[in-house]
Amino acid sequence: MFMNGVNFSCIPRIHIDIPFSLNIFLSITAFLGNTLILVALHKESSLHPPSKLLCRCASASFNLTGIMLCSVSLSTLSAISVDRLLALLFGLRYRQVVTLERTYLVVVVFWIVSIVT
């Protein structure tokens, strides 16, 4: 199989599977460890209340940031797919329809909608 001039069939399959397997293991471990820490912080009564509040605020801000960035990523991927479809449908008129200014506008709208949502 050739992709961008590189023959990937000569790379042993094990070299591709090891980082993937390691990433899955580390993701599960990190998720379980973070969940355990959050449960312990929630149950611990000797912890100073402002520290608990800061942990909750940090957790909420991480969640909101993750949701916002995920929304922007999915919107961008959708826009790339629509862009390729427009290139196929419009042919030579594509450069007249899809301009740099319109692309900037679409990207700004994606960010604004993601932030507001």
Sign of the alpha-carbon torsion through 16, 17, 23, 27: positive
The answer to whether the CB of 51 falls within 8 A of the CB of 82 is no
Report d(CA 72, CA 78) in Å as an integer.
Answer: 10
Query: What pLDDT sits at residue 56?
Result: 75
Report d(CA 7, CA 46) in Å as an integer.
Answer: 59
Report d(CA 34, CA 18) in Å as an integer.
Answer: 24
Predicted TM-score of the model (pTM): 0.54
Query: What pLDDT sits at residue 1?
Result: 46
Query: Token pair for residue 68?
Result: 């916002």
Query: What pLDDT sits at residue 101?
Result: 94
Query: What pLDDT sits at residue 16?
Result: 59
* pLDDT, averaged in runs of 10, over the chain (117 residues): 54 61 81 82 71 75 86 91 92 91 93 90
Secondary structure of 50-101 in HEC code, one letter for each residue: HHHHHHHHHHHHHHHHHHHHHHHHHHHHHHHHHHHHHHHHHHHHHHHHCCHH
